[in-house]
Structures are given as C-alpha cells and as structure tokens.
Structure 1
Amino acid sequence: MVLPLLLLAGVVRAGDLAIVNARIYPSPDAEPITDGTVLVRDGRIVQVGTAVEVPDGAMVIDAGGDTVTAGFWNSHVHPLPLPLREAATRSPAELEFALRQMFARWGFTTVFDIASFPSGNTATLRGRINAGEVAGPSLLTVDMPFFPADGTPSYVKDLLDSMTAPSAEVATADEARERARRQLADGADGVKLFIGAIVDDGTGVRLMDLEIVRAVVEEAHRAGKPAFAHPTTLEGIEIALAGGVDVLAHPTPASGAWSAELARRLVEEGVALTPTLELFEIEVRKENAPEAVVERIAGIAQQQLRVFHEAGGQVLFGTDIGYSDQADTRREFERMAGAGMDWRAILASLTTAPARRFGQDSRKGRIEAGMDADLVVLGSDPADDPQAFSGVRYTVRGGEVIHPAPWHRP
C-alpha cells in the first residue's frame, strides 16, 4: 500500500524505502526477478531480491506485479523554456513543476543538458537540486555550445536575441580553446559543437572549421569530459570523426541513408548516437510538409539508427526536450523499436549505455546493492511493448520519490 503522503507531496525525502511485489529488471541483459523487493536506505540500494525483510517504518510502494527498472537517462535535453532558464530567481514550486513535466513524469532521473543559455544557468539549477531546495533529476551540462563563425542556427536566433544572450560563435581555434577551458573549469560536464549549423542566409549549412573542433575536443578530453556534435550533414559527420567527437547528438536524415561502412567507421571510432527520431517528424511538420514527406525524412533517420545499431553502435536515448516541446516519449520508443531495437536494447539506451558513456556506471544504470537508488516503476512490462517505458507510475531519484503519477493505484 502506498503511503497517503505520496498523494499530498511532490517529493518524499530519502530514508528507508521499499518497492515490493515488483517484477524487477536489474539490468538490460539480466533475467527478471519476479515478486521481488528493492530496499533503499539513505539514497542507496541496500538489497534486491525475493527474500528481503522490510524494516518497520519504511515507506512502502506496492508495485502490484508491475515492472521496476533503473532510473532513465535523457542524454539530449535543453533547460531553455521558462521558468528553467531563470534558475536563480524562480521559486522551487515553479522549477519543480517544470522539471516534473519535462523529466520526472517520464522516468528521467539523470539528464544531460547539451546546450543552454545563459551561461551558468544549468549549474545554478543543479546547485538548487543538489541542495535539496528543488526536487529534480541529476543534471549534467555542457553550458553554452560552440557555433561556427556567422553560424548561429536560425531556429534559435530569435530566442537568443530576446534573452540578450552573448554570442556562442567562435572564429578561431585559440578563441574556442580558451572558452572550452573556462567552461570546463567552471564545472561543465562536456562540450557541444554545432559542426553543421543551419542558417537562413541562403547557404543552408555552415560547417565548423576542423581546427576549431579539434581544439575544443582536446580541451574536453584533457578534462576527461565528452564532446557532443550536431553534424547535420555527411560532411559534418566527417569533421566530427576527424575531430575526435564522442557523441552525435542527432542522425542526419537530410543527407540520405547511411551506409554500413559509415556505421562501421562510427563504431570503430567509439562514437555514440542519440537518435531523437520523433524530432524529425516534428520539424518537418512545422514546414507544413505532406505526410509522405514527413514519413520519408523520419524513415531515413530510422534507417540510420538501424544500420548504426546493427553495427554494434552505442545508442543513447534522447529527445531534444527543451528545444522540442514534446515531452511524451511514446512515439520515440515506437520509432526506436521500428528501427530494430528490441526492448532490452532500448532499456540499455536509457540506463547502462549512458551510465557507461559518461563514467557513472559504478553508481547508476543497474539495480543492485550499493548503487544509487534511481528507480522507475512502470505500469506495464516493456518486454510486451516498448511503449511501456513511457507509462511511468513512480520516479525515484536518490531514494526520493520525485514523481507520483496522478493516476497512481493506492
């Protein structure tokens, strides 16, 4: 029985927590534990199994046979919408509501902001979450991105102008290196390069100079941090490969199908991919394109994910939420399944793959003793339908319930 407190509060603070009567998937490649219990104390998992004694006084969530997985990662987000981009001045209630709608409602306990303004805003938001003032996910951030000279993307220019944000363009490798060094020293968890920036001056895509890419990536790697790239075109992918980028933030459907050889090269170079498949449907529909065109472009993105996955590439789940206003994850899971990813591969993209990629696999991504108590209770089993990953009943981050679903079962 779920304690009534869950009905009244947006967050339940860490202590002893037991999720009982659950079908537990400890990791994507593990067999499920049926009628199992996860016991949490002080933000860490202390016991998992079928013979776990629940201590007196523990808060108990009865899963009623439903599924429990490790907490989800969203590896492509932007805390740009209000109130999140005013993290220093907005109230905890405002910030918590936005964080729940964008992240916790969908099971995300860790998110990677891969471009935001103003500089330092996400770090401020992270500080308020970590201090216990605001309930929300673990936050990683690249802070401000790097745009090519004269290459501020047209689709964010008006927003940045309205914010009077400083230019994120870099014209030389020395300038780029110095800013990367500064942002990383100030606490950024990586860097983001718009290698192919879409502009509206008639040229289409502005490509970043390879020496600038190398300078920024070198600084990130020197600090032990990842480099993300927005490639846009096949030329952008070649620059990303030559520059040593770690993660492609999107596929490149405008450039046509990927070959098996390109996918093999990406895998050999250790490059991960965030598919963001639904985003392309959304963007093409903004142009009032016929549905046949929408499906053609979305289908190319799906093909690119398929050939990358078949080559053994590391896939990281991401939605581009914050640029996109589509928080619901159901369509993304449907598209990923249509690209040939089974439910275990999708679960890996949500859990073990990002934890490993971003150096947190000793703490996150699996359900076992000693790990952070980042957990998701789903209303149905994703082994039956991958869209079940979007049916989140409860989200637990560090032992705190940060999302009780409004339709929860008592």
Structure 2
Amino acid sequence: MVGRLLATVFLLFLVFTSALFAQQADRSGAWAIKGATVIDGRGGDPIPDGIVVVDRGVIRCVGTRDQCPLFGILSIIEGDGLWVMPGLIDPEVRMPWSTDSLGVQDAQNIRLAVGITLVREAGSVGDVESNIQARERASDPFRPEPRILVTGAVESKNARDLGSDGLVEVAQELARRSVDGLLVTGLESGPQLDSIFRVARSWAIPVYGGIPNSRLGDEEVFALAERGVRVVQSPEAMGRGDEELIGALVKNRIAVNPSLTSWQNDGHPEPHLPHLDFLAGPRPVRDLIPFFGSAEARALEEARITAGPEYAKAASALKEFRDRGGHVLAGASGSRPGSGLLVELGLLQDAGIEAPDLVTLATHEAARELGVDKRFGSVRRGMAADLLLLNADPSVDIRNTQKVWRVVKGGVIYDPLQLLEPYRLRFKRETRYAWQRRAGHAKWLLVLLAGIGGIVWYRRKNAWRL
C-alpha cells in the first residue's frame, strides 16, 4: 500500500516537473507556430499559412514562410486549422481581495482559461495595495492568470471628507504607489476634477470615469469629456440615444465601455456560457424539475423583458456612436469572470459592430485606451507574446473566441482544459456531496413516512378493538 502511494506521488512529480521543464524550454528558447491564419489585432489583412516566432516571451517575427525562416527552431506548433490573434483584454473587472480573496484568484484563473491575458482592475476601494501586489504576481508568465493594470479610485466621499486639497493628496498618494490609472467617481465640482487631472498629467497616467454598479449621468460625462478622460463606464444617456452627449464623446475621442450585458439583464448576473456551466456549481433540485424550472432563469427572463426597450435604444445608440468614429471597449464589469467579456462581445456583434472590428476592439484598441499598446494588444515583432490560438475564425463570428485551443502568456503556453480541470473536479465533488446529502434527507423522510404509514395501518387493523 505504501509502495503504491510512493509510486503515485513520484509519478505525479515526474508529470509536474516535465510540464514545468517543457514550459521553461518554451520560455528560454525560440519556438514557433506554423501554418495558422494570423490576425494581427490592428485591422490588417489576415496572414494565411502564417508564421509566428516567439523567443523569451517576445514575438520575434510574424509573416509568411519566406519572411520568417524556421531554421534552428526545434519547437514548432503545427497550426493548420488554427487562428492566432492577440490575447483578449478586459478593461473593467472588480477584485475585492479584502472580502473574497479566494474568489478573486479563482476568477483570474478562469479569465486566462478563456483567453483573457490582460485586465484593468477598475478601482476597488480599499484594495489598492492588494491589487498592486497581485499585479506583481501576475506579471510572471508562469502564473496562470492575466496581467493586471491597477486603478486607484478618487471618490466623492473623499471630496466631502477632505476637500479639494485632500483630493489632490489622495491622487498623489495613489500615483506614488504606482497605480496605472485614476478613477474618478461622483465628483461634480469642476475645480475638483481639474485638480485630479493635473495630478494624472504630471504622472503620465490616464483618468477613467465611472460609478461602480451604476451609470454616469449627463453632467458628469460632459465634465469628464471636456477634461480629457480616457474611458467612461456605462453612460446613462446611451439608453436614450442622446445626440448631444454622443457628439461630445466622439469629438473628445472618449472611449465608452457600454456594459450592454448589464443593460440587457437590468442588473441581474449573466448566466455562465454553456461550456462553462459547471462553474455555477450544483443546481438545486427544484431547477431540475421541468414543471418548476430555475427561479434564477425566470427572474433573468423577466428582467430582460422589462429592460428590452431601453436595451434596444442603448444598442442602437452604441452602433451610431461607433459609426461616427467613437471608440468602444468591451468590459465585463460585474458580470461572470470569463463569460462576461465573451457575452459582451457577442452582444456588441448583435448590435451591429462587425466581427473584424470587434477583434480589434478587444485587443489593440483596448490596449491603446489603457496606454499599453506598445507592449500588448497586437501580433507583431517586439510585442509581448500574449496570444490566443483558436479552432475557428473570430473575424467571421466573434463568438468563435469561445473556441480556445491554447492561450499564451509571455511565451508560456497554457491548455485551457487543464486550467479548468480543478473547477470541473470541484463541481463533480460538490455535486456528489449535494446528492449524498439529499439522499440522507430522503432516507429520513422515507423513515418518517414509513413510520406514519405503520401507525395508520396499525390503527386501521385494530380499529374494531377500540
């Protein structure tokens, strides 16, 4: 028994170390993808039967077989039937480390498994230091999670408590702690906003505008647009198709993260995509009975019916905004990790944005608006090797980004099935435990019913004696 256990442990050790050494070989030496269709993320023509050469986590060559000779490269991935594009970028995620650190880390692992290689943490208050530490951890390509950009929030309550001078100090302190951007929430005073933007310009970091779990009002959007905010989150006027506001956003080159998912669902959480349904955990017995169905699904359907007219206006206004030259980002915001961004991209396609434009929108344009397009967001020489290898063409249907074969972060190749396997095992374990518990409850219910039945039988049998 002991010998079998030791043999099992040794086998697992060999499997782990061989996988690790294989990844290190990929990281320390050059490797290539041959024969795939390469989509650069910048809107250029796809390269059929293309070559991508990666060396030490950086893309060294992209082109045809003549342009990128493979002499001396021993590790080559045969890419026939595959599409290569930049890793997806999610510009709007929440990471409440102080209240749910395990959940946040799980969410990060899931995001990488679906092809997201970079996220912007959208300013979770009270978690700046935790996010800075997480950013350092996530910068390691061998960490199975997306890279992180940290946003520091300057809130309206800071203005009430500290005044304008205090706001400047808050912004300065966040900048000194090396945040990648500032988020202003609920600040209505022009001088207050001016002071924050001066700090941002002095530190060469972008400013974002938004209110967590809410929508920006018109006055706030105009005030932010006039001062050069980089991105605004879910402006309220999108639901009305406000011409003046849309014009102001286009004129000032302000990107909009519309969060169509939240518009469509009226604040209800989006269900997981079918191939990620196991992440939701075991379903209640009631949901498994056709007559009853899922109460959550019914509530979501009712919310969509209620929000339908406003959602239709928001989708139409977004298409007009894009057609007039406006910049659109796709962010998951408070949606399911991983599923949220993929669902958002699908809704943007349904709203009339073409699939090739959405590929650019979710990669190069997102990197540009976040100020990191010199390293991330496109497949070209000198860029970080953050790549997505797909089994279907995303430029035909953006929902093909759900068909992930491999994810590459900094030259390290990850198998999404392996990344998700712990969650599948957990789902099986929790499901088994749930049914065991239900069986235990059913056993005692049967005992109780048998006891009641026995009493009734006994009383009927002996009724003549009473």
Same fold (TM over 0.5): yes
1:7-406 alignment to 2 at 5 Å? 12-13=23-24, 14-15=27-28, 16-51=30-65, 52-54=68-70, 58-80=74-96, 86=101, 97-101=106-110, 103-116=111-124, 117-131=126-140, 134-143=143-152, 145-149=153-157, 171-195=162-186, 208-230=188-210, 232-252=216-236, 256-285=239-268, 289-320=302-333, 323-328=334-339, 329-405=341-417
Paired residues of 2:257 and 2:330 also in contact (CA < 8 A): yes
SS in 2 for 1:317: coil
Report the CA distance between 1:95 and its aligned residue.
7.4
The 1:300/1:58 distance shift into structure 2, 3 A limit, reads: farther
Paired residues of 2:183 and 2:207 also in contact (CA < 8 A): yes
Distance 1:299 1:6 in 2: 53
Report the CA distance between 1:339 and its aligned residue.
2.2
Distance 1:269 1:331 in 2: 28
Moved more, 5-14 or 394-403: 5-14
Report the CA distance between 1:67 and its aligned residue.
1.0
Q: Which amino acid aligns with 2:63?
A: G
Report the CA distance between 1:188 and its aligned residue.
0.5
Paired residues of 1:20 and 1:36 also in contact (CA < 8 A): yes
Q: Which amino acid aligns with 1:23?
A: T
Q: Is the helix fraction higher in 1 or 2?
A: 2
Moved more, 238-247 or 391-400: 238-247
Distance 1:388 1:260 in 2: 33
Who wins on radius of gyration, i.e. which is larger?
Answer: 2
Report the CA distance between 1:147 and its aligned residue.
2.4
Distance 2:198 2:413 in 1: 39
Distance 1:292 1:10 in 2: 53
Distance 1:303 1:345 in 2: 17
Which stretches of structure 1, 4 residues or longer, exceed 6 Å deviation after superposition?
Answer: 4-7
Paired residues of 1:190 and 1:227 also in contact (CA < 8 A): yes
Report the CA distance between 1:131 and its aligned residue.
4.9
Q: Deviations over 1:211-266 (max 9, x none)?
A: 3222222211221111111152222212322443221022326x742233322211
Distance 1:108 1:11 in 2: 22
Paired residues of 1:247 and 1:271 also in contact (CA < 8 A): yes
Question: Normalization by structure 1: what TM-score?
Answer: 0.79
Distance 2:18 2:146 in 1: 20
SS in 1 for 2:178: coil
The 1:7/1:133 distance shift into structure 2, 3 A limit, reads: closer
Percent identity between the aligned chains? Answer: 23
Paired residues of 1:96 and 1:135 also in contact (CA < 8 A): no
The 1:107/1:393 distance shift into structure 2, 3 A limit, reads: same
Paired residues of 1:11 and 1:135 also in contact (CA < 8 A): no
Paired residues of 2:364 and 2:377 also in contact (CA < 8 A): yes
Report the CA distance between 1:113 and its aligned residue.
0.9
The 1:100/1:17 distance shift into structure 2, 3 A limit, reads: farther
Paired residues of 2:87 and 2:115 also in contact (CA < 8 A): yes
Q: Deviations over 1:290-343 (max 9, x none)?
A: 4321222322332332122112012222111xx333531342122101222111
Q: Which amino acid aligns with 1:350?
A: A
Paired residues of 2:112 and 2:144 also in contact (CA < 8 A): no
Moved more, 290-299 or 175-184: 290-299
Distance 1:250 1:29 in 2: 26
Distance 2:209 2:389 in 1: 33
Q: Which amino acid aligns with 1:80?
A: P
Distance 1:326 1:131 in 2: 21
Distance 1:382 1:363 in 2: 22
Paired residues of 1:11 and 1:400 also in contact (CA < 8 A): no
Report the CA distance between 1:57 and its aligned residue.
6.5
Report the CA distance between 1:376 and its aligned residue.
0.7
Q: Which amino acid aligns with 2:202?
A: R
Paired residues of 1:251 and 1:305 also in contact (CA < 8 A): no
Distance 1:132 1:324 in 2: 26
SS in 1 for 2:327: coil
Report the CA distance between 1:7 and its aligned residue.
11
Alignment gaps of 5+ in structure 1? 150-166, 196-206
Moved more, 310-319 or 240-249: 240-249
The 1:26/1:256 distance shift into structure 2, 3 A limit, reads: closer
Q: Deviations over 1:326-372 (max 9, x none)?
A: 53134212210122211122112112212222333232222122221
Moved more, 121-130 or 52-61: 52-61
